[in-house]
Homo-oligomer: A and B are copies of this chain.
Amino acid sequence: MTHAAHAYAKQHSDRFLEDLKHLIRIPSISTMPKHADDVRKAANWIRDEMEKIGMETAELIDMPEGRHPLVFGTWMGAGPDAPTVLVYCHYDVQPAELEDGWDTEPFEPTVKGDILYARGATDSKVNVITQLRAIESILATPEKSPVNIKFILEGEEESGSETINAFVAKHRDRLTADVSVISDGPIIAPDQPSMVIGLRGIIGMEIHVQGPVRDLHSGHFGGNVHNPVQAITEILAQLHDENGTVTVPGFYDDLIPVSAAEREAIAGADKYYEENWHKTAGAPKVWGEAGYTIQEKAGIRPTLELNGIWGGYSGPGVKTVLPAKAGAKITCRLVPDQDPTKIFEAIQKHILNLAPDTIKVEMFMQDMGAPAIRIPHDSKAAQTANQAYFNHWGKQAVMEVAGGSVPITSTFATVTDEVVLMGYSHKGGLAHGPNENIYLSMFDKGIGTAIDFLLLYGQS
C-alpha cells in the first residue's frame, strides 16, 4: 500500500511512540478508587487528541459516581453511503507495584533493545495509540477517510465494563455501524499475526471465612478453635480433582461440545502456545486436564482460578496468631454456553455445602461477568483484517481460540453487523503481570495495519 496515510505515519512515527509513553505514565488503574483521577486524566488526554486530529465530535461521557468516563469521537465525513467502522479500545490498566516483581518502575516506560516495558504497554495502551494515530494519519491526507469512523474507549475494561455496557444498552443508535473493531488482546507472536475466533467469558467472586470473632493467641486457643486459614484451604482444595477438573456440580452442564473440525482449525496455533508456555510461564511442568493441548486447556475449557488468598500474618518473623478471618478471590474463565451468574450460583452453593459448622462462610459475586463468544472467520471484516495484517507482516493470520476475555465483544456483536478483533501487542507481553512489554518493531506495522483496515473496508 502506498497511500499517503502511510507516508504520514512514517513521518510522525517518533511522536507516536512518545504519545504511547505519555499515556503509559498515567496510572489509569480502574480497579483502585485512589486512581480515579488518573483514569480521568487519561480519558481527557485522549479526548483532546481526538479533537486535534480532526474528529468531528470528541466527548467525555460521564456515568454515575464511582464509575469511569467513556471517550467517544466521530468522523462521519465519508457520507451516508459509505460504510461505518466502530473502533473500540480501553485505556484503563491493571494494578502494578514494583515489588510485585518488576525489574523497572511499572508506570515509567523503559526501553531495552527492541522491547518497551511498562504496565499497560500490551494491555492495552499500544492499541489506543495505534488506532488513534491510524485515524490521524488517514484524516491528515487530502482524501480523508473512505469510511465513517466512530471511536469509543472505556476506562473500566479491567473492572467489569459496567459503564460501557449500560451506555450501549441505552444508546444503540449512536453506535450504529457496519463493523466493530475490538482493538484489544495480542497477536500470537511478534512475527505472526493471528485471528481470534473464540474468547472465554469470565465471572469474578470472593469467599470470606470467619472463625473466631477476633484474632486469638494460638497457644490459648490452638486446638479448640477451627482456624479459618485452615478452613479456607480445606474448602478451596476441594474445588478441583486430581486431574485439574472442576468439581462444582453443574459446572460443565452447559458446555457446547467442540467438534473435531473446530479443534483441527486451531491446531496451527498450537506450536505458538507451546513455545509461549515454556518461555512465559516456565512452570516445572504443564498442568491441567488430560486430553487437551496447551491451547485447548486455556481456550476451549473453562477454569476456576484462585487469583489471591489472604488471612493472618504475612510479615517478617513469627506471629503466633490464630486469625479470625481468611479470604480468597476466584475468577472463572467460561466457554460457550456457560452463564456467568449461573456459574457463580453453582460455586456458591457448592462452597456453602462444603463449609463446616465451626466457621461462617460468605460468597460475593463481583462486578464482572461476561459469557464466552465465538466469532465467524469468513466475514468481510475478518477477510479485510487478514489482508491488512498480511500487507504489513507478510503472512496469513493463524486462527486461535484465546483464553482471555474481552467481554465487550459480545456487547458490540449486538449493535453492529459484524465484529473483528484486531490487537497490536504480542502474546508474550505479560499482560497483568510484572514486566509487561511490547516489541517496538511491531509498533509501526500495527499502525500500518490499522490504517489499511480502514482503507480496505472502504474499498470493498
- A176 to chain B minimum Cβ distance, whole angstroms, is 30
On whether the beta carbons of B312 and A318 are closer than 8 Å, the reply is: no
On whether the beta carbons of A159 and B217 are closer than 8 Å, the reply is: no
Q: A223-B297, A284-B360, A315-B32 are in contact. Are A432 and B216 (CB under 8 A)?
A: yes
User: Does A62 touch B at the CB level, under 8 Å?
Assistant: no
On whether the beta carbons of B433 and A284 are closer than 8 Å, the reply is: no
User: Does A277 touch B at the CB level, under 8 Å?
Assistant: yes
- A150 to chain B minimum Cβ distance, whole angstroms, is 27
User: Does A327 touch B at the CB level, under 8 Å?
Assistant: yes
Q: Write the A293-319 contact mask toward B (1 if CB under 8 angstroms, else 0).
A: 010011001010111111111111111
Of A67-75, A229-237, A258-266, A438-446, the stretch lying at the interface with chain B is A229-237
Nearest chain-B residue to A436 (Cβ)? B217
- A12 to chain B minimum Cβ distance, whole angstroms, is 31
The interface size bin for chain A is: 35 or more
User: Does A125 touch B at the CB level, under 8 Å?
Assistant: no
Choice from B160, B244, B320 contacting A307 with Cβ under 8 Å: B320
Nearest chain-B residue to A186 (Cβ)? B220
User: Does A351 touch B at the CB level, under 8 Å?
Assistant: no
Give complex CA distance A322, B101 in Å.
14
Q: A31-B319, A214-B433, A216-B433 are in contact. Are A306 and B159 (CB under 8 A)?
A: no
Of A328-336, A338-346, A377-385, the stretch lying at the interface with chain B is A328-336
On whether the beta carbons of A237 and B234 are closer than 8 Å, the reply is: yes
Residues of B near A368 (CB, < 8 A) are 318
Q: Write the A118-160 contact mask toward B (1 if CB under 8 angstroms, else 0).
A: 0000010000000000000000000000000000000000111
- A152 to chain B minimum Cβ distance, whole angstroms, is 22
Residues of B near A319 (CB, < 8 A) are 31, 94-95, 307-308, 329, 432
- A141 to chain B minimum Cβ distance, whole angstroms, is 37
Give complex CA distance A30, B318 in Å.
10
User: Does A226 touch B at the CB level, under 8 Å?
Assistant: yes
On whether the beta carbons of A226 and B283 are closer than 8 Å, the reply is: yes
On whether the beta carbons of B309 and A213 are closer than 8 Å, the reply is: no
Of A1-9, A46-54, A399-407, A415-423, the stretch lying at the interface with chain B is A399-407
On whether the beta carbons of A222 and B298 are closer than 8 Å, the reply is: yes
Choice from B217, B225, B329, B360 contacting A432 with Cβ under 8 Å: B217
Give complex CA distance A277, B123 in Å.
51
Known: A229-B308, A308-B314. 17 other contacts (CB 8 A): A32-B315, A33-B316, A217-B433, A220-B298, A223-B244, A223-B303, A224-B277, A224-B298, A225-B283, A233-B237, A284-B357, A306-B311, A307-B312, A308-B313, A317-B366, A319-B329, A321-B432
